Amino acid sequence: MKTNYEIRYAAHPEDAKSYDTKRIRRDFLIEKVFTPNEVNMVYSMYDRMVVGGAMPCGETLKLEAIDPLKQPIFLRNREIGMYNVGGPGIVKVGDTQFELNYKEALYLGSGDREVYFESKDSNNPAKFYFNSLTAHRNYPDKKVTKQDAVVAEMGSLEGSNHRNINKMIVNQVLPTCQIQMGMTELAPGSVWNTMPAHVHSRRMEAYFYFEVPEDQAVCHFMGEVDETRHIWMKGDQAVLSPEWSIHSAAATHNYTFIWGMGGENLDYGDQDFSAITDLK
């Protein structure tokens, strides 16, 4: 197995205004989340969230304590939330193991346990997408499925944004230090997420898009309300959303995405919305 990581620094919104396409993509887009038998991580300076993916194809992959942590064990000072977006998989943590099927989630609290990822069938590999944030106390590990979710049905087909927001690793379901994660599924015919758009300067966020057909694309919008930019994305890619940025997308097909947040509070509803007609 191999672990790859990179550090991403945070940007001032005044500076980000002048970024060209290449720079926006380099700083915010995470193109390669999954590579067979590798663990990929981006250590972001936005609330020190680590965004990554593990795709075991016959090998057992370890969640290694990458150098920027300066810790011997990944979970020593961190909690992690993850989703399996591939075939049936197993996550081993200490003496316990969790079976995660498609779209099932797992929260692991901080503490000195090693984490290993496995697939049940290397021909149909599991793909674990994860977000990790610093944590200064332990909360119990918990597998979370859609049955446990707090579901918000939003939008309409007429508005091209009919979707279910499945709030899964959130404070109504289980205690966490910082992380709040969920999965939003768009109905066929709907392509817009998070419109009207919002910001929450109390929390940063990461989006991971999947269930996007190979020949289709997602146009993710970011930036300040009156200074937006876009990033064209494919399926199985993630994007960082600074605390000053909107985060919304339209695609050429319906899709599903996983959102994860960290920062000042655990209040999902603490969002500052802007009128659709105020976007520039």
> Contact with ligand D54 (CB under 6 A): which of 165, 173, 246, 258?
165
Give the integer Cα–Cα distance in Å for 129 and 40. 10
Phi, psi (rounded to 5 degrees) for 74: -55, -45
Give the integer Cα–Cα distance in Å for 19 and 11. 10
216 binds ligand D54 (CB under 6 A): no
Annotate each residue in 199-228 with x if it binds Zn ion (CB under 5 A) or - if it does not, as one string: ------x-----------------------
105 binds ligand D54 (CB under 6 A): no
> Contact with ligand D54 (CB under 6 A): which of 48, 163, 220, 229?
163
Q: In what order do the strands lie in the sheet with 2-8?
A: 2-8, 38-44, 50-54, 128-134, 78-84, 105-108, 142-144
Choose the contact partner of 193 out of Zn ion, ligand D54, none; CB within 5 to 8 A by kind: ligand D54
Residues 202 and 170: beta-carbon distance below 8 Å: no
Q: State yes or no: 14 annotated in a binding site.
A: no
> Contact with ligand D54 (CB under 6 A): which of 74, 247, 251, 263?
247
Q: Which amino acid is at 135?
A: A
Min separation Cβ 21 and Zn ion, Å? 23
Give the integer Cα–Cα distance in Å for 28 and 83. 21
Min separation Cβ 84 and ligand D54, Å? 19
> Contact with ligand D54 (CB under 6 A): which of 44, 184, 245, 254?
184
243 binds ligand D54 (CB under 6 A): no
Q: For residues 91 and 249, which CB has a smaller minimum distance to ligand D54 in the complex?
A: 249
Residues 34 and 72: beta-carbon distance below 8 Å: no
Q: For residues 31 and 267, which CB has a smaller minimum distance to Zn ion in the complex?
A: 267
Contacts of 10 (CB under 8 A, 6+ apart): 44, 45, 46, 242
40 binds ligand D54 (CB under 6 A): no
Phi, psi (rounded to 5 degrees) for 147: -65, -30
Residues 89 and 126: beta-carbon distance below 8 Å: yes
Q: State yes or no: 253 annotated in a binding site.
A: no
Annotated binding site for Zn(2+): 198, 200, 205, 247
The site for ligand D54 (CB under 6 A) is made up of 154, 163, 165, 182, 184, 193-194, 205, 247, 259, 271
The site for Zn ion (CB under 5 A) is made up of 205
